[in-house]
Structure 1
Amino acid sequence: MALSAENQQPPVVVVMGVSGVGKTTVARLLAARLDLPYAEADDFHPAANIAKMSAGTPLDDRDRQPWLRALGGWLGERAEAGSGGVVTCSALKRDYRDVLRAACPDAFFLHLSGSHDLIGDRLAHRTGHFMPPSLLDSQYAVLEPLQADERGTVLDVDAAPDTLVERAVAALAR
């Protein structure tokens, strides 16, 4: 298991980005590579949020608060237990990341980024997910990139998932 250089504890990683960027694929591979527990943020949404998104209505900040607190709780538990973990979460706004950091100050944000055209094409071909492609514009509109004082890195999804995982491991080692 890889250890973060700062505290010699297994890392707690939030794989973030807009819908369709590949969060689940990369997060699962990263968790397996580092032998860490994995959680999918979508599993933390209350039923009302899923119904709203399925109907093509973007969530508002009020909708997201219980979801973010639940995710933060999972992260904090992993950090406290010393087990580390990898979770997916769009974490599009700094305020959202602040909620997660409040529960887990050592969280590392792995921002997967890609062009609107590339991600739009991916969403158009994705099946079995409640997030419709029509909400992509709303996600890009609220996306606030990581700031210099936020622990994390940005990876462009123009590479294969295995390559992105290797880049993520290297970033965690720094």
Structure 2
Amino acid sequence: ERDDLIAAIEKLRNGINQLNREARARLKAAFDEVDKHFQQLFVRLFGGGGAHLMLTDADDPLEAGLEIMASPPGKKLQHLSLLSGGEQALTAVALLFAVFLTNPAPICVLDEVDAPLDDANVDRFCKLLEAIGRHANTRFLVITHHRMTMARMNRLFGVTMAERGVSSLVSVDLHQAEVYSKKEQTELDFTN
């Protein structure tokens, strides 16, 4: 019995070691892919500069932390925490989409991701949404209060509360609204 127990323990240790080796290899591959996407997206969103991800404990990736290093155009490479609020937000968007692009889904829900962004960065954010939507064949459900973001969407859904406790849903297809608006304008031009 003692020999069986020792053999079982050894078999378990070998199994755990094999699982850890495989987990480290998979984590490293996923980390490298996310980092590659992150570097590309950062440059795209900032119009230059550079960024990369770093594991804080290179000895064992399974127990490592993550550092985000970024250098917006004209600035030195620094930790995420040392960037301005807008730079942090845009860097976070780059990281969010880097993870998403590693394993894209057919639908992605974003809740007020554009809230801390100024108009120029909202424009970059919207262009990135359009590009990722085409590239990954993804539909985005974007919850926003930003008018620029709303103007770039295909369809808007608004939730209003006409009376306390009763919500109403309003839907507008922006492409159809544009066609309708042009048609009405053409009709007005002919009647004048």
Same fold (TM over 0.5): no
Question: When you count helix as a share of all residues, which structure comes out higher?
Answer: 2
Question: TM-score, length-normalised on structure 2?
Answer: 0.27
State the structure with bigger RCO (CA 8 A, min sep 6), 1 or 2.
Answer: 1
